[in-house]
Structure 1
């Protein structure tokens, strides 16, 4: 943990994770800039890349031993803007403005639920008793995953060109659904809960490389497939956590 020494400042390595977090915030807001000019592929691309940066900053902070309370607060604020405010505005500009009242309510609901989810996470961060976290699970859908999922109608529209997926009642219902998942108490898989057998690690590396190639060659079908896989895993994460709870109860 980095602590500032009076009169000496902080080491440069402590700034690297915070700089990446700030970049993620900038990329998220830049997505809104492209949405204003109806450049939807760029809008989604910038927010997706913000998610990539968000996945790196914490790991780099731990690698450099540069974790700090300031960094944690900055990360939460950046997540709220890049994965809450920015997607809400993109969705409104893309489809929800066709129903200005209901559409704006849906956009607000998504943004507010993102803020509530992050506030809940921050409020519990120092709690010693966190059943989901201690078992390697998240509580509800995480911020970057929520942003990726709420864009599913846009992925479908970009792939097919079918205007049905831009119809505001469908987008409104989907937005409310993802907002509810984010603030739910549903246990969802986290990176710490995933284990790869030693003999499968090379295959896992190949799979990651293929995923990266697919994202570059066919980003929207790939993101749609990843989103579908994530949603399909939710019942399995609930069942897995149930088994963990039963094992814990049996060992008491």
Structure 2
């Protein structure tokens, strides 16, 4: 028991190095947005996602989880997937919208903060196979992906369509993070187990597919992922309704199948 407490209080270099890289990428994205290098800022947010996905898996594989690492990871995520995407998209497109622009950015920041706080409070209490609400890295990828796609294709901000599209996407991402829609987490996939050969071919195919046009492909993939939770939620609601209706029908049939005949009154 003392060894376990000591392990929980320890600071491990390898997983926290990835967390620091995640934090640096988020900070770098903000700096690049201030310098109006928006494509570089968006790419930095995607790099933060890569580092964030590695720190937790490395900690689990090496058995170096710690309470310090959990809190440090949450603070880094707030920077990289909360503040950075909101500031990048605000400076890029939403400044011209006046108060609506910074309000949309604030809705996103609040959604990310609430999402991370709820995740920390519910550790060990929810299904590990699904996230409750859109995870903050995916929300950041949704916002940053739109910035990257628009800058890469030189979409004009002067017609007002792109700024309002950024506004809508930013608000949606903020609201989706605090929703109860289930989004697949991927945590049940074990990196240490053996896989068939065709899985490696699929991985290679995914890399080739993404590298063909990273802004378009990544944005499209995260659009699909951001909608998948609502599709699963609607499917669960419909299944629950069908099950409830079936139970009511069975209950009604059982009441009609009871003994019948003249009542035996005294």
Cα 1:21–1:64 shift into 2, 3 Å: same
1 CA distance for matches of 2:6 and 2:160? 51
Runs of at least 5 residues in structure 1 that lack an aligned partner in the other structure:
none
Determine if the alignment matches structure 1 residue 221 to structure 2 residue 221. Answer: no
Mapped partners of 1:17, 1:103: distance in 2: 36
Q: What residue in structure 1 maps to residue 96 of structure 2?
A: 98
State the match for 2:25 in structure 1. 27
Report the counterpart of residue 251 of structure 2 in structure 1: none
Which of these residues, 40, 43, 46, is aligned with residue 41 of structure 2? Answer: 43
Q: Do the aligned partners of 1:153 and 1:166 also contact (CA within 8 Å) in 2?
A: no
Displacement after TM superposition at 1:96 (Å): 0.9
Q: Secondary structure at the match of 2:180?
A: coil
The farther-off stretch of 48-57 and 91-100 is 91-100
Residue by residue, what CA displacement relative to the aligned partner does 1:152-185 show, whole Å, maximum 9, x if unpaired?
Answer: 4324413432225863222112211111111000
- Tell whether 2:60 aligns with 1:58: no
Partners in 1 of 2:194 and 2:17 — Cα distance?
36
Counterpart position of 1:83 = 81
Q: Distance in 2 between matches of 1:222 and 1:234?
A: 19
Q: Output the CA distance in 2 between the equivalents of 1:60 and 1:244.
A: 38
- Structure 2 residue 15 is the aligned partner of structure 1 residue 17: yes
Aligned in 2, Cα 1:236/1:202: closer, same or farther, shift over 3 Å? farther
**Aligned pairs, how many?**
237
2:168 equivalent to 1:173: yes
User: Is the aligned partner of 1:210 residue 2:201?
Assistant: no
Q: Residue 28 and residue 3 in structure 1: after superposition, are their counterparts in 2 closer, same or farther (change >3 A)?
A: same
> Which structure has the larger Rg?
2
Alignment partners' CA distance in 1, 2:161 and 2:215: 15
Match of 1:183 in 2: 178
Distance 2:5 2:178 in 1: 33
Contact 2:181–2:230 at 8 Å: present in 1 too?
Answer: no
**How much does 1:236 deviate?**
4.1
User: Over the residues paired in the alignment, what is the CA RMSD in angstroms?
Assistant: 3.2
| TM-score relative to the length of structure 2 | 0.78
The aligned counterpart of 1:142 is 135
Show structure 2 runs of 5+ residues with no match: 245-266
Q: CA deviation at 1:235?
A: 4.0
CA deviation profile, 1:57-97 (whole Å, cap 9, x unmatched):
11100111000111111111111110000001101110111
